[in-house]
C-alpha cells in the first residue's frame, strides 16, 4: 500500500541545509503515526496534515547517517 501511495501523485523533495538539519526537521515533522502525533505533538506537520501511517504527510530521514544516502538517491540517482 505504501508503494502505491508513493506512486499515486506528485512529490516535492527538499534538501534542508543547516546545523543539525536532520534532527530539527524530524522534530518539526513529529511522530510517523499522525494519530500519535495529534496526541503528543499536536503542532507538528504530521499531526496537522497526516491521515494515517501511510499518508502521514511528509517523509524525513530517520537517522542522521542516512541523510547522505537519501540526498544521493533523490537528487542524483532519480534524475538520471
pLDDT of residue 7: 80
What confidence tens digit (pLDDT) does each residue in 14-35 have? 999 999 999 999 999 999 999 9
> Which regions of the chain are under pLDDT 70?
none
Percent helix, percent strand, percent coil in the chain, to nearest 5: 50, 0, 50
pLDDT of residue 1: 77
Q: Which domains are seen in the chain, by residue range?
A: 2-68 (3.30.70.141)
Residue 76 per-residue DSSP state: I
pLDDT of residue 67: 93
1 contacts: CB under 8 Å, gap ≥ 6: 54
Kindly name the residue from 40, 59, 68, 73 that is annotated as catalytic. 59
Q: What is the pTM of this model?
A: 0.84
Is-catalytic flag, 59? Answer: yes
Amino acid at each position: 500500500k505504501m508503494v502505491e501511495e508513493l506512486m499515486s501523485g506528485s512529490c516535492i523533495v527538499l534538501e534542508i541545509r543547516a546545523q543539525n538539519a536532520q534532527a530539527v526537521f524530524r522534530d518539526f515533522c513529529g511522530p510517523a503515526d499522525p494519530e500519535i502525533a495529534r496526541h503528543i505533538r499536536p503542532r507538528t506537520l504530521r499531526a496537522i496534515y497526516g491521515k494515517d501511517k501511510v499518508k502521514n504527510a511528509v517523509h524525513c530521514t530517520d537517522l542522521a547517517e542516512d541523510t547522505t544516502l537519501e540526498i544521493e538517491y533523490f537528487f542524483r540517482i532519480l534524475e538520471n
